[in-house]
Structure 1
Amino acid sequence: MQREQISVFDIFKIGIGPSSSHTLGPWRAAQQFTASLMNSKLLYEVEQIKILLYGSLAKTGIGHGTDIAILLGMSGADPVTFDVNAITPTIDIIKTEQRLFLGGAHEITFSYTEDLIFLYQESLPFHPNAVTFQAFLTTGEAFSETYYSVGGGFVVKDGENDSEKEQVELPFPIEKAGDLLHWCLTTGLKVSEVVMENELAWRTEAETRERILQHFKVMKECTFRGTHSGGFLPGGLNVGRRAAALNKKLIGGRSYTDYESWIEAIRAGGNSFNYTLDWVSCFALAVNEENASFGRVVTAPTNGAAGVIPAVLQYYIAFCDGFTEEKIIQFIACASEIGCIFKKGATISAAMGGCQAEIGVSSAMAAAALTECLGGSQRQVMMAAEIAMEHHLGLTCDPIGGLVQIPCIERNTMGAIKAITASQLALQSNPDKAKVSLGAVVNTMWETALDMNSKYKETSDGGLATNIPISLPEC
């Protein structure tokens, strides 16, 4: 059986919020279906499209923008490059004019209310996040494909699996935490160095470095934009954005003109515990407020948890002198491998495992990366990841109103702080005396996911989603 091979750029993807599994994944599925029509030379034969959303995609699809993502994907837009300011007018045209340009090339009549179908009480067995595309042709025949959005923007076509892509020869194949530790101890390489060696199987080192820095550019632009954008989040909950006001308060009148001078202004404020803690929260809030506003973010490893890694990385840059290309690349490379291990051994989908699979995994990734960049050993790196996840086990996903806002945005601040704490604990500990391994916590997370009631898996059928009236303000 082929093993799943995951690159840095499978774990970290550039996309548009608010959800990797409910927005980015369905967007990619729509693109793949349109490509299938093109490859089968059927695109111009299509006269009608029906889109069926199942399970979690149906129950929280509106709040997560699943409908918007699919229509944009069907229209030929790409989440990496599409102008986020054009989202609303593009969707408004589709709805009001009742027409859709498949692949940006073939116009068909499309009714948002009749052709986009939410099957709230139906789920497909493979995964809760399922969408079926049906194309009805001028010949009277139909062409249909089903896709599953399995978390983190990963998409699996029905009848295929994650491993059915071109296999490469990895110098250090890794399926579980024990494999990673084996290669690190055998070679003496850091986790990030093992990752960079494996990435050579896909592209040159220069290309990998360049792409990692492109992803960091999106992270820092998102953070900076989020700390300078006020108002309210879309979706009807009337949740006010807080990062901008917090940024203004913390910066204390110090002047800056861009991201680099902003970092210098932050450093000039000192490094007291409260000050540092407030900035970590500000960084995380900024990213996830942007995510909730259909902004461009980097899945890390998901959109709902996109603020944890940027927040910890910004902490490292602003308060630990980590503002060098080499350190940023090291941080992101190391974090990616921990995400890969959880993806292979458990899940990074809240619809499968609750929020432990998103905030928990992102916190583990950030803890490991920070530990390595601060000089921790390979065992301490893995210990930090284990500590962070151990204290997220059982975390439910219960978004109020099906929106990636409450409690999701604040949870990113918690995940970031736990990551920093886990890193500090690991750096001050002897991993040889640890009672719990990273491999054990991955297995435990998956077992917990299987036992968790479905109402706590991104359905908004339980927890805060049913106990907090939507009209209440955020607390």
Structure 2
Amino acid sequence: MQKEQISVFDIFKIGIGPSSSHTLGPWRAAQQFVQVLQDNDSLKDVQQVKILLYGSLAKTGIGHGTDIAILLGLSGDDPVTFDISQIGPKIDGIKTDQQLVLGGLLPTRFVKDEDLIFLYNESLPFHPNAVTFQAFLNTGRAVSETYYSTGGGFVVKEDEQPGSSKKEVDLPFPIDKAGDLLHWCRKTGLKICDVVMENELAWRSEQETRDGVLNIFRVINECIYTGCHTKGNLPGGLNVARRAATLNKKLLGNAVYHSYESWIKAISNGGSGFKYTLDWVSCFALAVNEQNASFGRVVTAPTNGAAGVVPAVLQYFIVFCDGHNDDSTIKFMLTASEIGSIFKKGATLSAAMGGCQAEIGVSSAMAAAALTEALGGSQRQVLMAAEIAMEHHLGLTCDPIGGLVQVPCIERNTMGAIKAITASQLALQTNPDNAKVSLDAVVNTMWQTALDMNSKYKETSDGGLAINIPLSLPEC
């Protein structure tokens, strides 16, 4: 069986919020279905399209924008480039006109309330996040395909092995577990980020990888900066107030700046006390996930619901650890991506499969490892930091109020970021010889915990805070 090969650009994807598994994944699935119709020359014959949402995609689909993402994907729009200011008008037009333009080419009658079906009480066995597309042709035939959104924007077509849609390459350092990664580091003497870069060379040149990572970094910075300067309430009906902009203003006072660069300098000039630093880490994380909750452009890290953790810790490194240069940013991101890849292969990145430990827990482990590497930790300390971060997220449930990626999701990103920094400091001050728990052991434990977890705590809004907090109450 083909081993899953995961690149830095599989873990870090540019997209639109609020959810990688419920927005970005279904969007990509819709695009793939249109491609199937084009490949078998059926697109021109389509008379009607129906979409069936199962399991978690049905139960939290409205709050996560699954319906919106699918309609945009079927229309031929791409989440990397689509103008987010046009989401509302585009969806309103589809509803009003009762028409989809499939792939941007074929006008097709579409009545949203009839043709997009939420099967709240049905789930398919492979994964809770399932969607089936049906196209009925004027020839009397029909084309049907089922896709699973498996977390982090990854999509698997039914009867297709994970990773089989991607060309297999010869990686110089095959890695499935943390033990494999440590083996290659010991054998070569390379740092973790260097091992990752060598593997990336199997797909593209080093310059292309560097440019791609720095573009990811650019999108992250734009997301943080915009989030720290946008006020108001988040959409969705909970009336959750944005906090990043208010906190940014409070912390900077009358400081003058005109760009991301001058803003970072102003923050750095403000001091380095514990409370000040803590407030900024929280502000960075809040900013990203408030943008995510508002259908903003974000980067999966490794998911949208946990998109604020790695960026917040990276900004902490840049501002408070003097890490503002391209090389250190690239090393940070490469290391983080490999830890995310290990969790993807050994457990899951899907909250619908494993609860929030699969999102905030994994992102915290990624950030802890990356920070430790960036601060000069040994390879074993890097893996130890990732283990510590995840160990203290084990069992974390996913119970979004109203099916929205807002409460408790946004604040959880601040918690994940702080835990990552703490885990990194612990690892840097510890001799790995004394560690009792390995990263592979904690990955296995996370997966076992995911299998044992009650389904109502797996992104269904059927348990936890989702059923104990009246929707009319403000966020506490």
- Tell me the amino acid that sits aligned with residue 381 of structure 1: V
Report the CA distance between 1:412 and its aligned residue. Answer: 0.1
- How many angstroms apart in 1 are the aligned matches of 2:20 and 2:189? 35
- Tell me the amino acid that sits aligned with residue 132 of structure 2: T
Note the alpha carbon deviations across 1:3-24, whole angstroms, 9 max, x for none.
1100000000000000000000
Report the CA distance between 1:166 and its aligned residue. Answer: 1.5
Report the CA distance between 1:161 and its aligned residue. Answer: 1.6
- How many angstroms apart in 1 are the aligned matches of 2:192 and 2:59? 39
SS of equivalent residue, structure 2 residue 250: helix
Report the CA distance between 1:55 and its aligned residue. Answer: 0.2
Report the CA distance between 1:225 and its aligned residue. Answer: 0.2
Note the alpha carbon deviations across 1:152-204, whole angstroms, 9 max, x for none.
00000001021313210000000111000100111111111000000000000
Structure 1, unmatched stretches of 5+, are: none
State the match for 2:469 in structure 1: 468
State the match for 1:167 in structure 2: 168
State the match for 1:441 in structure 2: 442
Note the alpha carbon deviations across 1:268-326, whole angstroms, 9 max, x for none.
11000000000000000000000000000000000000000000000000100110000
1:121 equivalent in alignment to 2:99: no
Note the alpha carbon deviations across 1:196-251, whole angstroms, 9 max, x for none.
00000000000000000000000000000000000000000000000000000001
- Tell me the amino acid that sits aligned with residue 345 of structure 2: K
- How many angstroms apart in 1 are the aligned matches of 2:182 and 2:114? 53
SS of equivalent residue, structure 1 residue 34: helix
State the match for 1:2 in structure 2: 2
- How many angstroms apart in 2 are the aligned matches of 1:81 and 1:19? 17
State the match for 2:385 in structure 1: 384
- How many angstroms apart in 1 are the aligned matches of 2:302 and 2:163? 18
Q: Which runs of 4+ in 1 moved over 4 A?
A: none
State the match for 2:81 in structure 1: 81
- Tell me the amino acid that sits aligned with residue 78 of structure 1: D
Report the CA distance between 1:425 and its aligned residue. Answer: 0.2
State the match for 1:276 in structure 2: 277
Q: Percent identity?
A: 77
State the match for 1:404 in structure 2: 405
SS of equivalent residue, structure 2 residue 38: helix
- How many angstroms apart in 1 are the aligned matches of 2:364 and 2:289? 15
State the match for 1:369 in structure 2: 370
SS of equivalent residue, structure 1 residue 406: coil
- Tell me the amino acid that sits aligned with residue 137 of structure 1: L
The TM-score with structure 1 as length reference comes to: 1.00
- How many angstroms apart in 1 are the aligned matches of 2:167 and 2:217? 27
- How many angstroms apart in 2 are the aligned matches of 1:470 and 1:187? 55
State the match for 1:68 in structure 2: 68
- Tell me the amino acid that sits aligned with residue 443 of structure 2: V
- How many angstroms apart in 2 are the aligned matches of 1:405 and 1:54? 22
- How many angstroms apart in 2 are the aligned matches of 1:192 and 1:221? 25
Note the alpha carbon deviations across 1:416-453, whole angstroms, 9 max, x for none.
00000000000000011100000000000000000000
State the match for 1:105 in structure 2: 105
State the match for 1:47 in structure 2: 47
1:134 equivalent in alignment to 2:134: yes
State the match for 1:252 in structure 2: 253
- How many angstroms apart in 1 are the aligned matches of 2:118 and 2:3? 34
Alignment of 1:17-32 (within 5 A): 17-32=17-32
SS of equivalent residue, structure 2 residue 232: coil
- How many angstroms apart in 1 are the aligned matches of 2:337 and 2:404? 26
- How many angstroms apart in 2 are the aligned matches of 1:150 and 1:163? 12
Alignment of 1:142-181 (within 5 A): 142-164=142-164, 165-181=166-182
- How many angstroms apart in 2 are the aligned matches of 1:318 and 1:163? 37
- How many angstroms apart in 2 are the aligned matches of 1:349 and 1:309? 17
State the match for 1:190 in structure 2: 191
- Tell me the amino acid that sits aligned with residue 406 of structure 2: Q
SS of equivalent residue, structure 2 residue 25: helix
State the match for 2:305 in structure 1: 304
- How many angstroms apart in 1 are the aligned matches of 2:161 and 2:258? 48
Report the CA distance between 1:138 and its aligned residue. Answer: 0.3
SS of equivalent residue, structure 1 residue 6: coil
Report the CA distance between 1:140 and its aligned residue. Answer: 1.1
State the match for 2:394 in structure 1: 393
Structure 2, unmatched stretches of 5+, are: none
The TM-score with structure 2 as length reference comes to: 1.00
- How many angstroms apart in 2 are the aligned matches of 1:338 and 1:248? 34
